[in-house]
Amino acid sequence: MNYKSTLIHYLFCGVAVLFLNSCGDGSNKQNVEKADGSTTVAKKANDIIPFFQHWNLILGDGSNVGKATDYENKDFFYTASDEKADWVVFKTPNAGNTHGTSNNTRTELAQLKKWTPLTEAKMNATLKVMQVSATGDARVAATYSVVVGQIHSADGHENEPLKIFYKKFPGHTKGSVFWHYEINTAGDDNSRRWDYSYPVWGYDFSVVGTEADTYPPEPQDGIALGEEFSYQVEIKDGMMYLTFTSEGHETKTFTKNLISSEYTERSNIPEQVKKLFVPIGQDGLERKTAYADEGLFFKLGTYNQTNGKDPKVNRVWCSGAETHGGDIEKQYADGNYAEVWFKEANITISEDAISNGGYFQANDGLSAKTVYPNEVIPFMDKFKIWMGDGTEVEDISNYEHKDFFYTVIDGTRRWVVYKTPNSGVTTKNSSNTRTELHEKRDWTPEQGGKLTGTCKVMQVSVSGDARVPASFATVIGQIHSGEGHENEPLKIFYKKFPGHNKGSVFWNYEINTADNDNSGRWDFSTAVWGNDLSVVGTGPNVYPPEPEDGIELGEEFSYEVNVYEGIMYLTFSSEGHKTRTFTKNLIVSEFQEKSDLPAQVQQLFVPIGQDGTERATAYSGELGYFKQGAYNQTNGKSPKTNMVWSTGAETYNGDITKQYENGCYTEVWFREATVGPGTKPNI
């Protein structure tokens, strides 16, 4: 390949312009009145930066406006001047429509051509950051930060070998400049990608607050808002050379190999990454050749890293900042936006660079496109679904419901969301709402079956009676009988008391009651992490101690239910927690006599008259099926009616919108799940 380079090199001209804060009419020049009453000609961005024909401009409303020649927008992209120079302003709120699969808004240039890291390419810029978000969770690394320059891949996973950040905590005068390298993840699964952060002036990305509103000390060598600095990015023979300069600060240089990875083994993962990313399941390895075989392109502007998503969704990238429901004017009015001014820039790219049209075709409007749950978890054709308003849908291929069943992105992965209120329309024989899959295949314990799921619980009801075991709990997986008493040999629970950070995961076995009277049925509960069902409060609002080994909201865990030749094998796993396994016979009962009733059952169920025994053959020969999703165990029924299952929670008279607004619902996210025949266990 011929690596001769063609120069595309433009400087921001030093032409005085007045601040423009109105949309253009398509003409290149406008008359603007000066303070002395005379007029001058105001120029648009490309009069100051004459290289916009080589970029597409993405705005904070998610739109791609194409080339920004003779273009301005009063909300996102316009010109300004100060006492020293003329500038092009890039501005974007904490929340708006995003571009591609990102959670974050941007007003950013993206190159129209792409090039390989084996060619020569260069980008320079001189800028000052004028604003970062005034709100957010200080414990989240991305909060209060903005990306002002990038190299982005147009191919493969579309990862980013370079992101240049500025970040400043509220109350600080000085902020930090740092840059990131994101691995080009090996394999087809990019959800485990991570960034490594290098400090330039001030801190790196990993320095965060100890509480939501508690900040680390101000960096001594940091950069203030409004203080100029420059960066130079040069690519040559697969190497990236970075230079950062600012008057009064030490010049910093860095080198990074883009075609040979240093992160191909688990032992290579840096400590910083182990601290930030590994706890949220982002622990991938990089392909040996890194970005060698991919087309890359520059980006420049304002890519706001602060968003309004709940930190429990992703504790690295979801900031929990104020967004005013996406109202841009309100965000701008109280400082919930990012704004960066550029006065000089240039790029150099190879004459061998080719069109980057495929990137824009794939990403333009993507955030507005519907991604159905079956595109994330393909087994939906094997299930039907019940939802929190009582709706039953048989065919859920290419189906979603925005109130109950849909998909989201948490910053790295797409998930299927199951959401249901404390009160809605329930199925027969239940007091509880559900948004839950119901397997179409029936099978007996002897025939067997297997269900797996990787999930995180995002919400359980914040109201309920703490003395009632079912309060603040949701079922996320079941085996349900379809015959006889239609009891449940398995229910997998998550439960968290209000005010606690950690909740409990446990599973229940419900007896298949002997004779025709099923009113004496009961559950036996087994703890996985944290407590079992029987641990309750001493008063309606008095809670037991928080479990030390529990699972937080937003913390990922997995389960496998494998029924093989009448025996149920359970496996539970989660990063940082001990893997737990259990075995239960589904075809021979251990609860045939009154003397077999466990102490836990005598404590919980016998006082309310549920003291039955089980048929000797348990669920043998009885058809059943799997269920998965969110089966809310918290309801509005008075505890006087049943001190185990009637939780007395707030329901707002069944108003689903009000329940969602006030935390009286349950929400569970799944990113992986499988269903199929049982398999011989490896024991």
Instruction: Give the pLDDT band of residue 413 (cuts 50, 70, 90).
Output: confident
What are the beta bridge partners of residue 525?
A: 508
Contact 421, 432 (CB under 8 A): no
Q: Tokens for 616? A: 């000797």
Average pLDDT score, the chain: 92
Query: Torsion angle, CA of 669/671/675/681, rounded to 10 degrees?
Result: -100
Reply yes or no on whether the pLDDT at 531 is more than 70.
yes
214/554 Cα distance (integer angstroms): 22
Q: Which residue's structure tokens are 């520059």?
A: 298
30 has pLDDT over 50: no
> Helix or strand or coil: residue 149?
strand
Other C-beta atoms closer than 10 Å to the C-beta of 621 total: 14
Looking at 30-39, 101-110, 468-477, 503-512, which range is the least confident one? Answer: 30-39
> Could you give the CA distance from residue 138 to residue 211 in angstroms, rounded to a whole number?
7
In terms of Cβ atoms closer than 10 Å to its own Cβ (0-12, 13-18, 19+), residue 609 is: exposed
DSSP string, 221-246: T-EETT--EEEEEEEETTEEEEEEE-
Least confidently predicted of 31-45, 255-269, 612-626, 643-657: 31-45
**H or E element, residue 300:** strand 296-304
HSE toward the beta carbon, residue 163, CA cutoff 13 A? 25
Task: Please report the pLDDT score of residue 29 as a whole number.
Answer: 43
Q: How many CA atoms lie within 13 A of 313 on its CB side?
A: 21
Residue intervals of the chain classified under CATH 2.60.120.200 are 90-368, 381-676
Fold of the CATH domain 90-368: Jelly Rolls (2.60.120)
What's the pLDDT band for 429 if we cut at 50, 70, 90? Answer: low
Predicted local distance difference test score (pLDDT) of residue 366: 64
Could you tell me how many residues make up the chain?
683
Q: What's the whole-number mean pLDDT along residues 424-446?
A: 89
Please say if the pLDDT value at position 23 is more than 80. no
Confidence (pLDDT) at 410:
84
Of 633, 642, 632, residue with least CA distance to 610: 642
Provide the pLDDT confidence category of residue 682 given band limits of 50, 70 and 90. confident
Query: How far, CA to CA in Å, does 593 sit from each of 523, 586, 614?
Result: 15, 17, 8
According to the model, what pLDDT value does residue 590 have?
Answer: 97
- pLDDT tens, residue by residue, 116-157: 999 999 999 999 999 999 999 999 999 999 999 999 999 999
Q: Compare 590 and 11 and report the one with higher pLDDT.
A: 590
| Average pLDDT for 481-509 | 97
User: Measuring CA to CA, which residue among 13, 682, 122 is closest to residue 353?
Assistant: 122
Q: What percent of the chain has pLDDT over 90?
A: 83
| pLDDT, tens digit, 9 for 90 and up, residues 149-161 | 999 999 999 999 9
Residue range 161-202, pLDDT digits in tens: 999 999 999 999 999 999 999 999 999 989 999 999 999 999
Residues 301-318, mean pLDDT to the nearest whole number = 95
Cβ(47)–Cβ(13) below 8 Å: yes
289-305 burial, b if ≥16 CB within 10 A, otherwise e? bbbbebbbbbbbbbbbb
Query: Is residue 135 within 8 Å of residue 304, measured between CB atoms?
Result: no
Supply the pLDDT for residue 667.
98
Q: How far apart are CA 19 and CA 339, in angstroms?
A: 14
DSSP annotation of 381? G
Which residues, other chains included, contact 437 with Cβ-Cβ below 8 Å and sequence gap of 6+? 380, 383, 384, 385, 396, 626, 627, 628, 629
Write down the pLDDT at residue 31.
43
Q: What is the pLDDT of residues 534-563, one digit of tens each?
A: 999 999 999 999 999 999 999 999 999 999
Fold of the domain built from segment(s) 381-676: Jelly Rolls (2.60.120)
- At residue 394, the 3 state secondary structure works out as coil
What is the model's pLDDT at position 431?
Answer: 80
Residue 516 contacts by C-beta under 8 Å, 6 or more apart in sequence? none
| pLDDT for res 8 | 37
